[in-house]
């Protein structure tokens, strides 16, 4: 069984056994960053790979092993309404990640993911968003509310909001126009020059910085470049923590471009956009899908203005990035990453090796080409 929550399809049925890639003792400490529909897919696969069926749930150790740092910049839909009404941090991306990491009661997960229909006061609201808002009011602390929701859903790993502050995403487009609000950016349909957070001084949770410092692998994506990934990395101190970390940093490339955000972008263009915002952030590997996508599946997306992301190894190599191509494609008509394939690829790249390649920023500083 599965359910759709805000565009993300989260599996809620009995998960199939997955052969552990590494022993629990040898498994890397992973920090995954982002939001939207991409981060829950990765987390679902990492949960299965790092915490195989039958392993005891130990919240503290599980949290050290797997941490999700999630955007709270969403201001549309149910999340936006709750932000305006109650001043809560955007709960929607958090909710999807909780469901992806949950191994709790299936009925409870279905209830948490339920979305009200109709035009009444509850229409469009996710029950999970309402529960997180209620827990926030009781605890007076959103991070503690997320922890309590994790206890209820019996999550493996932990989820930390990217910032303790209510942030607004601002985009500047070619031609100089500026727009505020995550939900308004894609509708402009112009090339995005830069995004930024308001307030600029948005504070990260200390636990997020601690997780980054202790990580063996930091995974950025998959997810919307400008509205899921950068809203995490632009929080004061997070990019600096990634830069200072000894972890391998892996960028998971999206499968398709996103209308209104990354129209016409190649894989190299994604890297250049990250570099334009965060010149010093390291990228040790760029993970790309190697499986062919059926033309009929591509055709469904072409009607909406999306196309497969073109990736030339030479262009990425000139940016100093190590390229890793794997079959990452999920089944069905939707073009999505497969959770288990994606998690396995990430963990294989993260596995210790004697010769770790320099990151993009390091190679560029050593004289690598920037085109």
Q: Following DSSP, what letter does each residue of 258-295 receive, concatenated? A: -TTTSTT--HHHHHHHHHHH-TT----EEEEE-S---H
* pLDDT for the residue 8: 43
72 pLDDT tier (thresholds 50, 70, 90): very high
Q: What is d(CA 39, CA 339) in angstroms, rounded to the nearest whole number? A: 10
Averaged pLDDT for residues 309-336: 94
Count other C-beta atoms under 10 Å from residue 300's C-beta: 13
Can you read off the two tokens belonging to residue 146? 């997320």
- Helix then strand then coil, in percent of the chain rounded to 5, is 40, 20, 45
* pLDDT for the residue 25: 58
**Nearest by Cα to 177 from 167, 192, 187:** 192
Indicate the average pLDDT of the chain.
90
* pLDDT for the residue 289: 97
* pLDDT for the residue 358: 58
6 pLDDT tier (thresholds 50, 70, 90): very low
Q: What is d(CA 265, CA 224) in angstroms, rounded to the nearest whole number? A: 12
User: Is this model's pTM higher than 0.75 or not?
Assistant: yes
Can you read off the two tokens belonging to residue 279? 């010149």
Residue 1 has pLDDT above 50, yes or no: no
Does residue 286 lie in a domain region?
A: yes
Does residue 6 lie in a domain region?
A: no
Whole-angstrom CA distances from 264 to 27, 261, 335, 343, 345 are 37, 9, 17, 27, 26
Count other C-beta atoms under 10 Å from residue 84's C-beta: 10
262 pLDDT tier (thresholds 50, 70, 90): very high
Residue 278 has pLDDT above 90, yes or no: yes
Does residue 80 lie in a domain region?
A: no
Averaged pLDDT for residues 251-270: 97
Q: What is the pLDDT of residues 113-154, one digit of tens each?
A: 999 999 899 999 999 999 999 999 999 999 999 999 999 999
Q: What percent of the chain has pLDDT over 90?
A: 84
Mean pLDDT check: name the lowest of 4-8, 246-250, 334-338. 4-8
53 pLDDT tier (thresholds 50, 70, 90): confident
User: Cα torsion at 203, 207, 210, 212 (round to 10°)?
Assistant: -80
* pLDDT for the residue 27: 80
Residue 250 has pLDDT above 80, yes or no: yes
Residue 15 has pLDDT above 70, yes or no: no
Does residue 152 lie in a domain region?
A: no
Does residue 89 lie in a domain region?
A: no
Residue 356 has pLDDT above 90, yes or no: no
**Nearest by Cα to 100 from 38, 59, 44:** 44
CATH of the domain at 323: 3.40.50.10680
Can you read off the two tokens belonging to residue 183? 């939900």
Averaged pLDDT for residues 101-119: 94
359 pLDDT tier (thresholds 50, 70, 90): low
Number of domains in the chain: 1
* pLDDT for the residue 4: 41
Q: Write phi, then psi, for 124 (nearest 5 degrees).
A: 90, -15
CB-side neighbour CA atoms (13 Å) of 13: 5
Does residue 14 lie in a domain region?
A: no
Residue 189 has pLDDT above 50, yes or no: yes
Cβ-in-10-Å burial (0-12, 13-18, 19+) of 68 comes to buried
Residue 353 has pLDDT above 70, yes or no: no
Residue 159 has pLDDT above 70, yes or no: yes
Does residue 97 lie in a domain region?
A: no
Asked if 99 contacts 40 with a C-beta cutoff of 8 angstroms, the reply is yes
361 pLDDT tier (thresholds 50, 70, 90): low
Averaged pLDDT for residues 297-323: 94
Can you read off the two tokens belonging to residue 100? 């992806």
* pLDDT for the residue 12: 44
198: domain range? Answer: 21-74+159-365
* pLDDT for the residue 41: 98
* pLDDT for the residue 360: 64
Does residue 313 lie in a domain region?
A: yes
């Amino acid at each position: 069984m599965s359910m759709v929550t805000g565009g993300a399809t989260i599996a809620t049925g009995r998960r199939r056994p997955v052969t552990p890639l590494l022993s629990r003792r040898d498994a890397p400490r992973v920090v995954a960053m982002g939001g939207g529909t991409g981060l829950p897919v990765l987390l679902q696969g990492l949960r299965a790979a790092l915490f195989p069926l039958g392993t005891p749930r130990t919240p503290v150790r599980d949290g050290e092993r797997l941490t999700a740092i999630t955007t709270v910049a969403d201001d549309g839909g149910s999340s936006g309404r709750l932000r305006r009404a109650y001043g809560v941090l955007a709960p929607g991306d958090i909710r999807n990640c909780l469901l992806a990491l949950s191994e709790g009661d299936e009925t409870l997960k279905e209830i948490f993911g339920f979305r009200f229909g109709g035009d009444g006061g509850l229409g469009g609201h996710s029950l999970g968003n309402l529960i997180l808002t209620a827990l926030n009011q009781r605890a007076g602390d959103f991070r503690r509310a997320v922890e309590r929701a994790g206890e209820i859903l019996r999550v493996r790993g932990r989820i930390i909001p990217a910032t303790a502050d209510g942030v607004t995403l601002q985009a500047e487009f070619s031609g100089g126009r500026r727009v505020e609000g995550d939900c308004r950016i894609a509708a402009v349909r112009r090339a995005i020059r830069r995004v930024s957070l308001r307030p600029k001084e948005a504070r990260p949770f200390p636990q997020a910085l601690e997780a980054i410092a202790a990580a063996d692998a930091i995974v950025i994506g998959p997810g919307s470049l400008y509205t899921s990934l950068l809203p995490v990395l632009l929080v004061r101190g997070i990019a600096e923590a990634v830069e200072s970390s000894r972890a391998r940093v892996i960028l998971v490339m999206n499968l398709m471009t996103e209308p209104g955000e990354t129209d016409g972008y190649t894989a190299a263009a994604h890297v250049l956009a990250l570099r334009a915002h965060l010149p010093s952030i390291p990228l040790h590997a760029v993970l790309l899908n190697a499986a062919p996508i059926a033309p009929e599946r591509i055709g469904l997306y072409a009607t909406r203005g999306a196309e497969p992301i073109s990736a030339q190894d030479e262009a990425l190599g000139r940016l100093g990035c190590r390229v890793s191509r794997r079959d990452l494609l999920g089944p069905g008509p939707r073009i999505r990453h497969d959770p288990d394939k994606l998690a396995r690829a990430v963990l294989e790249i993260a596995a210790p090796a004697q010769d770790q390649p320099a990151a993009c920023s390091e190679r560029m500083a050593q004289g690598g080409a920037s085109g």
